[in-house]
Structure 1
Amino acid sequence: MKPDPSEHPGASSELAGAKTRVQARQETGGQLERVVASHADVDQVIGVILIVGKITPAETWDVLREVSMRTNTKLHRVAESVMAWGRGATFPAELRSELDRQLQPPTQARLSDES
């Protein structure tokens, strides 16, 4: 036996509101998963660049940030490209060039900025 809607006049709007809240939470959960995955990629790339560049974690963060800004590439995209390169994919030339430049000793990098 179905419930009589006239007995619960606000029930349909409450149900619609509940559905909207559930959808919003699902979307938020999906966004959070993407952020966590992106953060993990960046952390892994920091480790790789730290070892390859023989620099500190703070310097590594600065290198990634500079590569991102100077190539107009979102930081998580830079990290994804480095991760893909580690798995054998082609590393975009613009990113590779800027990463190489950022990993040069400070005096050489400054000279490159001046030219």
Structure 2
Amino acid sequence: MPEDTEDMDPLARITALETEIAQLRHAVTARATVDQAMGVVIAYAGVTPETAWEILRDVSQHTNTKLREIAEQIRQWPHCEWLPDEVRHALGAAVLARSAQPPATGAAVPDR
């Protein structure tokens, strides 16, 4: 519950609680997307979950794109078989930098 809601009038308290609920729903959805993107990175690069998280973070930082947006693009990548060039290059570089072994056979980042 938001801080100091007990001292608020009922309408303000309801508004504060509704705002908090919306933020929590957004966080849960974003977390699920990040977890799924981590799974794609794990399958693609054969890395641990911790390394997959670091790779997502690296791609986000190097493309100056919010992590949840990168996660959504990578989550959809196996279905649409396309990543934006900037993301594709950053992903390849992050995987090379963070993994001891190359990506799984046949799992090259597409040039599309």
TM-score interval, smaller chain: 0.7 to 0.9
> Which residue of structure 2 aligns with residue 17 of structure 1?
9
Do 2:33 and 2:72's aligned partners in 1 also have CA atoms closer than 8 Å? yes
- Point out where structure 1 has 5 or more consecutive residues left out of the alignment: 1-15, 108-115
Tell me the TM-score normalized by structure 2.
0.73
Deviates more, 1:88-97 or 1:58-67: 88-97
RMSD over aligned Cα, in angstroms? 2.1
Structural mapping, 1:25-40, within 5 Å = 25-40=17-32
- Higher RCO by CA contacts (8 Å cutoff, separation 6 or greater): 2
TM-score, normalised by the number of residues in structure 1: 0.71
Per-residue deviation, 1:89: 7.0
Describe the SS at the equivalent of 1:34.
helix
**Structure 2: stretches of 5+ with no match in the other structure:** 1-7, 100-112
Q: 1:44 aligns with which of 27, 36, 42?
A: 36
Give the number of aligned pairs.
92
**Deviation of the 1:66 alpha carbon:** 0.6
Q: Take 1:31 and 1:86, find their aligned partners in 2: how far apart are those partners? A: 29
User: AA paired with 1:62?
Assistant: E
Paired residues for 1:51-66 under 5 Å: 51-66=43-58
* Identical aligned residues as a percent: 33
Bigger helix fraction: 1
Change (3 A) 1:32 1:87: same
